Amino acid sequence: MAEYGTPPEVDRVAASRAAVAARRARAAVKAAISAGERNPLDVLRVAGEDPASVEGGIRVTEYLTSIPSIGVTKMHRFMEELGISPAKRLGGLGRHQRRRLRGFLTDRLAAQTGRHNRLVVLAGPTAVGKGTVAGHIRTHYPDVLLSVSATTRAPRPGETEGVSYYFVDDAEFDRLIEAGELLEWATVHNAHRYGTPRGPVEEALDSGRSVLLEIDIQGARKVRRAMPEASLVFLLPPSWEELVRRLIGRATEDGPEQQRRLETAKVELAAIDEFDFEVVNTDVSTAAQEVVDLMQTRKPKR
Ligand X SMILES: Nc1ncnc2c1ncn2[C@@H]1O[C@H](COP(=O)(O)OP(=O)(O)O)[C@@H](O)[C@H]1O
Out of 186, 211, 247, 295, point to the residue binding ligand GDP (CB under 6 A): 186
| Segment near ligand X (CB under 6 A); pick from 77-85, 162-170, 265-273, 275-283 | 275-283
Within residues 128-167, the interface with ligand GDP by CB under 6 A covers: 130-131, 149, 153
C-beta of 235: minimal distance to ligand X in Å? 7
| Segment near ligand X (CB under 6 A); pick from 83-91, 98-106, 114-122, 245-253 | 245-253
Nearer to ligand GDP, 48 or 195 (CB): 195
Out of 31, 95, 249, 278, point to the residue binding ligand X (CB under 6 A): 249
**Closest-approach residue to ligand GDP (CB):** 219
Using rule CB under 6 A, residue 196 touches ligand GDP: yes
Residue-wise DSSP of the chain: -GGG---HHHHHHHHHHHHHHHHHHHHHHHHHHHTTSS-HHHHHHHHHH-TTSTGGGSBHHHHHHHSTT--HHHHHHHHHHHT--TT-BGGG--HHHHHHHHHHHHHHHHHHHT----EEEEE-STTSSHHHHHHHHHHH-TTSEEPPPEESSPPPTT--BTTTBEE--HHHHHHHHHTT-EEEEEEETTTEEEEEEHHHHHHHHHTT--EEEE--HHHHHHHHHH-TTPEEEEEE-S-HHHHHHHHHHH--S-HHHHHHHHHHHHHHHGGGGG-SEEEE-SSHHHHHHHHHHTTSPPPTT-
Tell me if 18 is assigned to a ligand binding site: no
| Segment near ligand X (CB under 6 A); pick from 34-42, 120-128, 145-153, 183-191 | 120-128
Mark 241-260 with x for binding to ligand GDP (rule: CB under 6 A) and - for no binding: -----------x--------
- What's the sign of the alpha-carbon dihedral 117, 118, 121, 122? negative
Tell me if 228 is assigned to a ligand binding site: no
Total interface residues for ligand X by CB under 6 A:
14
Mark 126-155 with x for binding to ligand X (rule: CB under 6 A) and - for no binding: xxxxxxx-----------------------
Nearer to ligand X, 99 or 136 (CB): 136
Tell me if 299 is assigned to a ligand binding site: no
Per CB under 6 A, residues contacting ligand X are: 126-132, 246, 249-250, 281-284
